[in-house]
Structure 1
Amino acid sequence: MNELQQLGRLVGTWSVTGGASGTTTFEWLDGGHFLVQRGTLVHEGHEVRMTEMIGYEHPFGGERGTEVKSRVYDADGNTLDYVYELDGDELTIWGGSKGSPAYFKGSFSDGGNRLAGDWVWPGGGYQATMVRV
């Protein structure tokens, strides 16, 4: 099973609490090559509506990449790039590229129905918890 397929444990709807709160849903895009996240969260009083495409890059005429990457598109016109890394029950989401000073690091528990951790970036961060609903 490749790393993207392992992220299938995110499929479903989640209640998000902590520094951001709301609901987010993960589902497979037809064909099973991309995981899609759609959510509405409130962070510091601002509503963030977003869609994220998660998968391996496979550019026109090129080889498929080896890292699970994503791009978030939000209703404010922002695009944010991430790299997903799953090791057992520990999920790291790197902001931009692996090793970045901006990242989420959390652990699955409760049979995979809870993911808790911290978003960290230079000068800030917050705790976040997702519980499957």
Structure 2
Amino acid sequence: MKKKDAGESQQPYPYPGLECLERLVGRWKITGPEIAGEVSYEWMDGGFFLIQRFDLIHNGRKNKGIEIIGYTKKFFAESPSEHLKSRIYDNHGSTFDYTYEVDENSLTIWGGEKGSPAYYKGIWSEDGSTNSGCWVYPGGGYESTMTRINTQGASN
């Protein structure tokens, strides 16, 4: 491992495009007809990945776990993935892969790859303190709203 020289500093966002995730950092209350709970987002040391911790009740079922969000970089790859990717690990033994798109107006989370029939599409409020939308998937879906509790990345 290369030792840092005096005055050399780590870039806050090692890969271009990660800065869009900054608006997620903090704690959020999740509400909807079928879902309730809290999530938090914080940067992993180094700034390459955002960690989400979630504690939710969805249709009466407790769902707790973590999600790691960032660009993937395979063994021996010279550059990271084209799209922001994530993987969830939950208390039911599930692992889910997603593709993220975040901009000033919306948040889209694709189940698997971009263009999937399973996705979340939400719209940011003007001040960025809420994101309201709907999860859509074959045979169902549900509405949810994410409301900022604070901007400090905190564990559940």
Q: Name the SS for the 1:61 alignment partner.
A: coil
Q: Name the SS for the 2:127 alignment partner.
A: helix
* Larger RCO, structure (CA 8 Å, separation 6 or more): 2
Residue matched to 2:92: 76
Is the radius of gyration larger for structure 1 or structure 2? 2
Query: In 2, Cα distance between the equivalents of 1:35 and 1:56?
Result: 10
Query: In 2, Cα distance between the equivalents of 1:97 and 1:12?
Result: 26
Q: Name the SS for the 1:6 alignment partner.
A: helix
Query: In 1, Cα distance between the equivalents of 2:31 and 2:76?
Result: 42
How many residue pairs end up in the alignment? Answer: 133
1:43-91 CA distances to partner (integer Å, 9 max, x unpaired)? 0110000100000001121131111000000011100000001233111
Q: Name the SS for the 2:120 alignment partner.
A: strand
Give the CA RMSD over aligned residues: 1.2
Alpha-carbon offset, residue 106 of structure 1: 0.4
1:26-46 CA distances to partner (integer Å, 9 max, x unpaired)? 000000000000010000110
Aligned residue among 44, 56, 66 for 2:71: 56
The answer to whether the 8 Å contact 1:3/1:86 transfers is no
Structure 1: state its 5+ residue gaps: none
Structure 2: state its 5+ residue gaps: 1-12, 150-156
Structure 2 residue 133 is matched with structure 1 residue 117: yes
**Larger proportion of strand:** 1
Map 1:1-133 → 2, pairs under 5 A: 2-18=16-32, 19-62=34-77, 63-133=79-149
Query: In 1, Cα distance between the equivalents of 2:100 and 2:20?
Result: 11
Q: Which moved more, 1:27-36 or 1:60-69?
A: 60-69
Q: Which TM-score applies when normalising by structure 2?
A: 0.82
